[in-house]
Chain A
Amino acid sequence: MTPTEPNGLAPAADSPARTRPKLGWLPWAMLAVGAVYLISVYGRMAPPTKPADLDAFGRIPVVDGGRVKPLETVARVNLRLISQREEFYDDKGAKQPAIRWLLEVMANGAPEHKGASWKYEVFRIENDQLLTLLDLKPREGLRYSRAEIEKNRDKLDKRVRDAEAKPKEKRDLVDNKAAELNHRVEIFDNLARFGGPLLLPPQSAGGEWGSLGQYRMTAIMQGFRDAVPFAQERLRAEPNWLARITKEQEDAAFEHFRGLVPRVLSEAELKELAERVKPKAANPLTDADMKGILYRVAMTDPAKLLPVEERDLLFGLQQLLSDADRQALRDRVTADLKRRTDANPAAGQWVRMADAYRESKPDEFNRLAGEYRGTYLQHVPADELSKLNVEVAYDRFQPFYQCVVLYILVVVLSAVSWLGWNEPLRRSSLYLLYLTLALHTVALIVRMYVQGRPPVTNLYSSAVFIGWGCVGLGLVLEKLYPIGIGNLLAAVLGFATNIISHNLAASGDTMEMMQAVLDTNFWLATHVTTVTLGYTATFVAGFVGVAFVTRLVATVVRDAFLTPGTPSNKDLLVFGAAAAGLVAIPVMLVALVLKALADYEVIHDAAFTLLLFLTGAGGFVYAVTLLFLRASAEGTDAGGPPVAGTLPGPAKVLDALALDAVAGRNMAQMVYGVVCFATLLSFVGTVLGGIWADQSWGRFWGWDPKENGAVLIVLWNALILHARWAGMVRDRGVAVLAVAGNMVTAWSWFGTNQLGIGLHAYGFDNRLATGCRYFWLSQLVVIGLGCIPQRYWASATRRVYPSAPAPAPLPAASTNGHVVASVPAPTPAAVAAAPVAAPRPNPQPQPAGPGRGGKGKKNRKKR
């Protein structure tokens, strides 16, 4: 059998006799729906420009993580780190963009303001022990405000300090989660102090960016330093100040002075002091002693002190001053800070912007923001600014999220196409996939443009790129074999990889700078791209294998029903397994979709559980029904014809799904071809990696886990090819081995990364390990199903079908699942599809005898 034979599965697709297929408008309508959806997203993506112009604010360039990027990105990355999503709900319950959150934090997040940003519930705390520690009740979304955390901040601090005292491997889950939350609170506080990104643009050509937070901190400390002599001067000017101060003032001042005492007093004096404050003496220090110390500390020469000590000295002095002098000191410090800040005009502008927003002067804020962009960026190199708008659009449009939406739609369409309206729905899927692939491609190109890098630079982008490759390859397969498999595969892999990347994005900017050794576009473009394409091809082959096994299982179920006679226990066992598998594979797919919806918070976790349960239960009922029907095959319908040997209603749908010789051969050809491609790519990629290693540290091969993972894929693909050439496996065997290739690739892609950290960072983001586990288990289930002995699905290897073949474009509507005579010319398939009420060879008693072997051999020769 060769692929050159008309495969009978989609004869209509290219046949001139079918120029006006049924529902020909549907694909175009679907395409239009997708396009309208994308246009509407584009139209709604910009943040409001009134009252405060958030759009303009988001376009301000800053430096973060080593590159110039718009505030829009900074806002999204930081909110994602804290909240695991890129928008938030304000205290009135309205959905707000990340950029507003950032602006609010900068304007009113500092401890002295504690404004609206402290009330927004953005900190996601999933660990219930941590919630208990912070005295918080679990709530929907598990997000809490900065103010709520502040209430028990001391407990959090203590937990973090205790955890840090332990060696790393002794820390438990709560320790790590507490550290994580603490880090997030620090991110918030740091942003509130203008820390984090470098906000100050270069002030001269070739100058460097600076941190406004640090600039302000330096200015404040310098202001304190200058204020100390002023305060001391004021005290000196008041001859009797020591007599004036109250006990409270004295204590308050001493609080600040405590650390300074050892710096001021001599060693002998300190010793004497220590003697006198021994606990047995009731009032160890006389007032005079106290005042003496106080005086000496207050009048210390600030030049001898460290900056922190100067601050303590100033705060102490402040307690001792008269009210008028204290006010004068405050005014002086404030004016001083303003003067110093304004010394850098951009710094002054930032502070004014924040002030204007905090004081609810949106017009003033908009004017300042416009002025800032017009005035202070002239020394930023033009090429660094040119990419900003593209990046802003990329951020706001969230192309990969839109891709997920479209991919899910395609998955649904493809799945439904197996039930009816086959060809129109297949075409709809195809057109939508073209649209989605175009979007996916544009998004990848934008990333490459913004980063100035080849597509794959980190784990996140590898997921995005592998998804892209899978979709592309799936479409090629669909072009070669227009039977809907390529579509389904493209959509499933496209959206599954996007789910992975969505989860990977939680750890920060997805367009991060490259560590030194990776800083080479040449090797990123060659080795990394080829190796990831090798992963891609291996996955595609593996998932065609999964589709093969799914159809094989459907064949088992169908054949069983069509077999007259009483099933033995063993038959029933196999039937049961097949029925369970037939349910399990779609349920796993649904679980993945639901997981995606839950990850994006489209549905709540409870809904996820409920829907998954319902799907599972529905599947279970279906499987049990099938099993019951099969077990009672000897019975008759009430007064009707005997049940045995016909396909009962609930199993009719399987007829379209079941394999026949052509479909089986086609899919095996798909797997084989893609495996060849995968071998080539993974081999070349792996060896290029070796050459890169030789270039950067003089060792071609180092046997490290990632290298080993790559070579495992090469070996596994080579194994599949040689096993096929050796005649050890045929169509089914190739498919099953390719499914195992999925497991190998997942190991190489994510598994190896987990080994290093897996044992030491307990519970710290083990999502990847968990993902690997479920994926491997699911693939094992598929492999197990794929091992059902051939005699249970023998019809798929015969060229004369026992029952109806599954001509793709035909509705499975005829009464007994046979083809109605709508096929224009008698193709071999159509001939074969003559009604088979007549006795047909029993598929059961065919042990792997010469008949099968001989035929297989002949087939092999022919290929």
Chain B
Amino acid sequence: MSAATAAPKTAPAGRPAPGPLDHALRVLKAVASLRLTVVLFALGVALIFFGTVAQMDNGVWTVVERYFWSWGVWVPFELFNKVGQVFFDLPRDTHWAGSFPFPGGKLIGGAMLLNLLAAHLVRFKLSWKRSGILLIHGGLILLFFGEFTTREFAVEQRMVIPEGEAVNYTQDARISELAFVDVTNPAAETATVVPEAALKEHAGAGRIADPKLPADVEVIEFMANSEFVPPSKTDPNRATGGIGKDRVARKKPEVSGTDAEQKVDIQSAYVTLYKKGTDQPLGTYLVSAGLTKKQEVEIDGKRYDLSLRPRRYYKPYTIHLVKFRFDRYLGTQTPKNYSSEIIVRGDDGSETRTTIKMNEPLRYEGETFYQGGFDPETETTTILQVVKNPGWVIPYVSCAVVTLGLLVHFGIYLTQFLSRRRAAA
């Protein structure tokens, strides 16, 4: 069996003088080496182990960024200490300093891909016996590709809908925007927004002036994460109006993934509004993602609701939440199911009534809606996770292909083995 798959031990005897093509072939053969495959597997095993233990200290996304989606990573020795503390009763109040370099996921994965492609280039042979191997490896390449598409193109957003209301936008919980919502006309709210990137860019540097904005905006400070404190001598109040008059936002470091008390960053900013095209200040305001109360400002006789809110993406459809349900098992607090009964109204007037449950998402217009969460206080507001992943189908295909390949390959092996046994018996 192994003869079919093993790296042919090149027998260099009787080879003519090597030309450049031979050198290229030799390099290719080196890259295609099965020994390299084994080494890469071992490195992969080690990397995944480190990346798992590292999650005791960091959030999963930080770890993915640092270990799995990187070329190289400095692995702290502390990881071994952590494992020792959990499994080998090492003292818990110690910390091991230092770290060592290790290839990251991109490097190992990329090398695996090269190794695999080279191996097939060098040893390509179409035969029944090798069909399984071809399928397995083809499927694996597809899997790599799928992970790449997901990584590059997938978008995850949320949709927060209170019962009885309809929403036509998704939000990005990690990115905010400064919004002026014209509330003069309650029938149709119109919002003008400044994206977070612009706020950051202009923080402490010039004004944002745009014809669409009702006022010119000067960003005094933008805080990626913040907390509220009462005004004091050390934290003087910079706001001259609105909600910011009785509290001060203070800058905080960004949240780490496993922080037990705080899960999301609270972005805040101080902005001064100027009458358009003039130096006439209209007041300095505190805006923050952590504030739920509305704050109104009056500009040129119009009233606006000024807020820093999660970035919105408006959609060509609205989703109306009829009912959110949180079912528990009888006599317990064990959740049995979460579900949202919704009506989807497309801009073409179509109307679909459906229920999104755990394990039963809705796929609509290239997006998928999952039951992501709910507001635990009221149990009447649903949070839908909205995912757009153009490559979502790839893993399904590659899984099927690899499985088929494994079945074929090991099946051939097993039949041979059994028939040889029978022949012997």
Instruction: State the A residues within 8 Å of B (CB).
Output: 2-6, 14, 63-67, 197-198, 208-209, 211, 480, 512-513, 515-517, 519-520, 523, 673, 676-677, 679-680, 683-684, 687-688, 690-692, 694-705, 708-709, 711-712, 715-716, 718-719, 722-728, 744, 747, 751-752, 754-756, 758-759, 762, 769, 772-773, 776, 857, 860-861, 863
Contacts and interface: CB of A to CB of B under 8 A. Distances in A.
A211 B92 CA distance: 44
Interface string B334-351: 111110000000000000
Nearest to A520: B359
A712 B49 contact: yes
B166 interface: no
B73 interface: no
Given A66-B330, A691-B395, A705 B52 contact: yes
Contacts of A692: 359
B395 A700 contact: yes
A47 to B, nearest CB: 26
A504 B335 CA distance: 22
B389 interface: yes
Contacts of B395: 687, 690-691, 694, 700-701
A744 B146 CA distance: 26
B353 to A, nearest CB: 21
Judged by DSSP, the binding face of B is: helix
Given A704-B60, A708-B48, A755-B52, A211 B392 contact: no
Contact of B85 (A702, A724, A744, A759): A759
Contacts of B60: 702-704
Nearest to B150: A700
B67 to A, nearest CB: 8
Contacts of A725: 2, 5-7, 34
B87 A727 contact: no
A676 B413 contact: yes
Interface stretch (B39-47, B243-251, B279-287): B39-47
Interface string B356-368: 0011110000001
B159 to A, nearest CB: 13
Contacts of A480: 421
A715 B332 contact: no
Contact of A715 (B41, B336, B417): B41
A16 to B, nearest CB: 12
B38 A723 contact: yes
Given A697-B385, A705-B52, A712-B45, A680 B410 contact: yes
Contacts of B100: none
Contact of B420 (A4, A517, A756, A776): A4
Contacts of A772: 87
Interface in B369-425: 370, 372, 385, 387, 389, 392, 395-396, 399, 402-403, 406-407, 410, 413-414, 417, 420-421, 423-425
B370 A66 contact: no
Interface string B319-332: 00000000011111
Given A704-B60, A726-B7, A769 B87 contact: yes
A520 B337 CA distance: 11
Nearest to B5: A725
B363 to A, nearest CB: 10
Contact of A5 (B38, B88, B407, B424): B424
Given A687-B399, A722-B38, A696 B358 contact: yes
Contacts of A512: 334
Interface string B112-155: 00000000000000000000000000000001001100100000
A724 B2 contact: yes
A536 B295 CA distance: 61
Contacts of A3: 417, 420-421, 424
B331 A4 contact: no
A6 B399 contact: no
17 contacts: A3-B420, A65-B334, A66-B329, A66-B330, A66-B332, A673-B414, A676-B413, A683-B402, A683-B403, A687-B395, A696-B370, A697-B372, A699-B156, A712-B48, A716-B41, A718-B41, A754-B87
Interface in B1-57: 1-3, 5-7, 9, 33-35, 37-38, 41-42, 44-45, 48-49, 51-53, 55-56
B63 interface: yes
Contact of B407 (A4, A65, A680): A680
B364 to A, nearest CB: 13
Contact of A208 (B41, B330, B403): B330
B64 interface: yes
A744 to B, nearest CB: 8
A759 B92 contact: yes
Given A66-B331, A680-B406, A715 B87 contact: no
B286 to A, nearest CB: 31
Contacts of B156: 698-699
Nearest to A690: B395
B51 A708 contact: yes
Nearest to A757: B86
Contacts of A709: 52
A673 B417 contact: yes
B68 interface: yes
Given A700-B392, A704-B60, A759-B56, A64 B6 contact: no
B60 to A, nearest CB: 6
B329 A67 contact: yes
A10 to B, nearest CB: 13
B211 to A, nearest CB: 39
Nearest 7 CB-CB pairs, A to B?
Answer: A66-B329, A758-B86, A698-B387, A726-B34, A4-B424, A719-B41, A687-B399
A5 B424 CA distance: 7
